[in-house]
A and B are shown apart, each in its own frame.
Chain A
Amino acid sequence: MIQGIGVTDFFIISTLMFFIGVYGFITRKNLITILIAIELILNAVAINFVIINKYLYPEGLHGQIFSIFIIAVAAAEVAIAIAIVIDFYRTNKSVNVDESEMMKY
């Protein structure tokens, strides 16, 4: 625990991060930027878990273990997503999300 910084301050930060991520996911056109937005979302949740563990339930370690797994899974997710983006780039010569419109309706 850090002196002078309460649990609400951390929640404000993590909520801001989460919704900046959601905003970026919806508005950005570049696939790599959308991936960064997803990273923001996942890291916001990881902060949430650590803070809840540290401030509210310091007797267990569930939250911190959970955040480590979130980081690990996020890394795997980004690795696969990047591979798919590269595959998409090879067929479309672009990483713009507007190009992915072959199938709709």
Chain B
Amino acid sequence: MDLSNFFSIMRGEIVLAAIILILLLAEIATKDKKKIVDLAIGLFLIHTIFGFFGVGEGVLFGGMFKASPIVNLFKNILNVGVLIILFQSASWVKGKLEEHNRVSEFYILLFASLLGMYYMISAGDFLMFYIGIEMASLPVAGLAAFDIYQKRSAEAALKYIFLAAITSGISLLGISFLYSASGTIFFDELKPFMTNDSLITLGFLFFLVGLLFKISIVPFHLWTADVYEGAPIGVTSYLSVISKGAAAFILIIILFTMAKPIMELWREVIYMLSILTMFIGNIFALRQKNMKRFLAFSSIAQAGFIILGMLSGTQLGMSAVVFFIATYIFSNLGAFGVVYAIANQSGKENMDDYNGFYRTNPLLSVLMMLALFSLAGIPPVAGFFGKFFLFMSAASAGYYWLILFAVINVTISLYYYLLVVRAMFVRQNDNPIPAFKSDVYMKIGLILPAIGIFVLGLYSPIYEHINELVGMFLK
């Protein structure tokens, strides 16, 4: 094996593992733990910037690990999301230092989970995929329990790890069925075996459970709201954008390459689940009062839109999904960022507390409004184009009824997103959240999603670039 080739293909993974090791050493060496926050953010910023330049393309370990331009793009999208979360969570982590003297664990676990997602996305066989998905989910369970003196935090971690364990067991059973039918665990070698054979069908459906759980598609969504509410907000936003995005990326890679021959089968499944997910997510979001829980159900509904785009099975569909996930990451992180800033200052998380928020903190209210409009899909911002391309791809495959249901759901979602906007701008409150200033990191963490929302909505070459990379991948 050519060593320089190896380093160019796996550079992202090697650098991230090195960052984890540096943080471990820094934890031992430094007395001033606050510096670790700056160190972690600085190192990851460098990693994110260099991720955009010149990562190689090829196959390693006899086909277990694959890198291609589109996979690198996926990793870059995840990197930017994690960077925003790091900025937003910096002041909260510094607060934890005073509470129980813990800083570097947060970053080590977060980066270990991201490393697992890298492996998961670039997997070429089921073994690498399984190791990746477990490596991505186990540290997050630890992170969800990071508030060790809070009952809710332990409960959230408990629900997450037990349900993740049983779904990964079911998923593994499916993989063993696929293995028994074909004798191989490599995606490429498995492709000729994908027929309507009943063992393959059963195995593939069981296998999908593990991924659909991560994206929180409806029959597997029950953990979402509880875990999102109980976990610290930084971990919640990580779960709702990065974890969900990575699982959606590998799902679309598997559906569009390995499972292409049984498209008629998974189309029916995805079709039904998409309708169910959109309706249940939206209807439950209507009655939520806690902002984290509210955003959890809204993210379930958005997951329904994500899998809607996969139905077409064409290049248009895949680029639409990738673009939608990018817009979703920015919009959701914008909304979570505002919730985070408010919870940091005042500890308030309920929608009623937001009444009259515009009077005291106009800039934050405007950012929240932008993010919610982008989630709902109102024209000038990014979310509109994300949804527009999704519906276009579904229409090109002839799913007109599905688009009708989706449009009904967009209308319902517009109603409850506007409830928050009304609380902030219209409602009166005798005792509003007082005006406050966030620190520098939080400001950067709030400005980046705002830039992302506008740039993705107004600068079309990004979509062209995604479309070009997807075309190269599917050829």
Contact = CB atoms under 8 A, between A and B. Distances in A.
B183 A84 contact: no
Contacts of A60: 183-184
Interface string A19-45: 001100100000100100010011011
Interface string B317-342: 00000000000000000000000000
Q: Among the interface residues B155, B165, B293, which one has the most CB atoms of the partner chain A within 10 A?
A: B165
A73 B134 contact: yes
A66 B185 contact: yes
A76 interface: yes
Contacts of B175: 66
B158 to A, nearest CB: 5
A88 B138 contact: no
A89 B98 CA distance: 24
B176 A45 contact: yes
Interface in B139-183: 141-142, 145, 148-152, 154-159, 161-162, 165-166, 169-170, 172-173, 175-176, 179-180, 183
If over half of B's interface residues share one DSSP class (helix, strand or loop), that class is named, otherwise mixed; here it is helix
Interface in A71-103: 73, 76-77, 80-81, 83-85, 87-88, 90-92, 100, 102-103
Given A80-B161, A92-B154, A102-B155, A48 B176 contact: yes
B131 interface: yes
A38 B152 contact: no
A42 B172 contact: yes
B230 interface: yes
A103 B156 contact: yes
Given A63-B179, A73-B131, A38 B226 contact: no
Q: Chain B contact residues (Cβ within 8 angstroms of A): what range?
A: 35 or more
B130 interface: yes
Contact of A104 (B150, B176, B226): B226
Interface in B204-251: 225-226, 229-230
Contacts of B283: none
B183 A38 contact: no
A5 B155 CA distance: 45
B169 A103 contact: no
Q: Among the interface residues A63, A90, A100, which one has the most CB atoms of the partner chain B within 10 A?
A: A100
Contacts of B378: none
Contacts of B166: 22, 25, 38, 41
Given A25-B166, A42-B169, A92-B151, A85 B176 contact: no
A80 B173 CA distance: 22
A58 to B, nearest CB: 10
A53 B130 CA distance: 18
B154 A87 contact: yes
Contact of A56 (B134, B151, B180): B180
B145 A84 contact: yes
Q: Among the interface residues A60, A88, A90, which one has the most CB atoms of the partner chain B within 10 A?
A: A88
Interface in B239-278: none
B161 A81 contact: yes
Contact of B176 (A52, A65, A73): A52
Contact of A57 (B127, B155, B173, B183): B183
Contact of A84 (B127, B150, B154, B293): B154
Given A77-B165, A103-B225, A104-B226, A85 B158 contact: yes
Contact of A45 (B148, B161, B172): B172
A49 B149 CA distance: 41
Interface of A: 18, 21-22, 25, 31, 34, 38, 41-42, 44-45, 48-49, 52, 56-57, 60, 62-63, 65-66, 69-70, 73, 76-77, 80-81, 83-85, 87-88, 90-92, 100, 102-104
Q: What 7 A-B pairs are tightest by C-beta distance, nearest first?
A: A41-B169, A57-B183, A48-B176, A45-B172, A88-B154, A52-B180, A103-B226
Interface of B: 126-127, 130-131, 134, 138, 141-142, 145, 148-152, 154-159, 161-162, 165-166, 169-170, 172-173, 175-176, 179-180, 183-185, 225-226, 229-230, 293
7 contacts: A34-B162, A41-B170, A48-B180, A62-B179, A62-B185, A100-B155, A103-B155
Given A48-B173, A49-B179, A91-B149, 14 more contacts: A25-B162, A38-B169, A41-B173, A42-B169, A45-B173, A66-B126, A70-B172, A73-B130, A77-B165, A80-B138, A88-B155, A88-B157, A90-B154, A103-B225
